[in-house]
Structure 1
Amino acid sequence: MDIEIYTKKFCPFCQKAKALLSRKGLSFKEIFIENDIVHAEMIDRCGQHTVPQIFFNTEHIGGWDDLCKLDVQNELDKYLKMK
């Protein structure tokens, strides 16, 4: 599975999302929002302005709250196995 996560430096929610993915043993591509071009790309992909924004393959999962909710409800592992 290809996982991409848009992040900004010093974002605590980005750190939490990356830590959760790492605890699950998942590798991911981190896309730093360093400029307006990358930020616009993220908005075009998901319609959201905040970080993190997480994609599994090309499917938009959402941000930290969405990822955490999947995990707390034991849906994240099921979702990962289906993909």
Structure 2
Amino acid sequence: MRIIIYTKDNCVQCNATKNAMDSKGLPYELIHLDNDPQAVESLRNLGYRQAPVVMANEEHWSGFRPDKIAALQAQLALAG
């Protein structure tokens, strides 16, 4: 499973998302939106206006979502 977190500097919800992923042992890639205007534009085209944006397989969401992170952990355990 490939998980990508689009993050920004000094973003409380971004840090909470990364910490939750780390605590559950979920591997992820980070893309820093502060340095990637093309990624910002792509996310805006998808309707996102806040960070973080998490993409995992066919699913994506914005903000800190512990419920979604727990679901990813369960999916990873089943695939395991």
Length-normalised TM-score, structure 1 = 0.75
Q: Say how many residue pairs are matched.
A: 78
Q: Percent identity?
A: 27
Give SS of 2:55's match.
strand
Equivalent residue for 1:50?
50
Give SS of 2:74's match.
helix
Structure 2 residue runs without a partner (length 5+):
none
C-alpha separation in 2, matches of 1:49 and 1:55:
15
Equivalent residue for 2:39?
38
Structure 1 residue runs without a partner (length 5+):
none
- Post-superposition, which runs of at least 4 consecutive aligned residues in structure 1 deviate over 6 A? none
Q: Which amino acid aligns with 1:78?
A: A
C-alpha separation in 2, matches of 1:40 and 1:15:
22
Alpha-carbon RMSD: 2.2
Equivalent residue for 1:27?
27
C-alpha separation in 2, matches of 1:49 and 1:27:
24
Q: Which amino acid aligns with 1:29?
A: E
CA contact (8 A) 1:6 1:42 kept: no
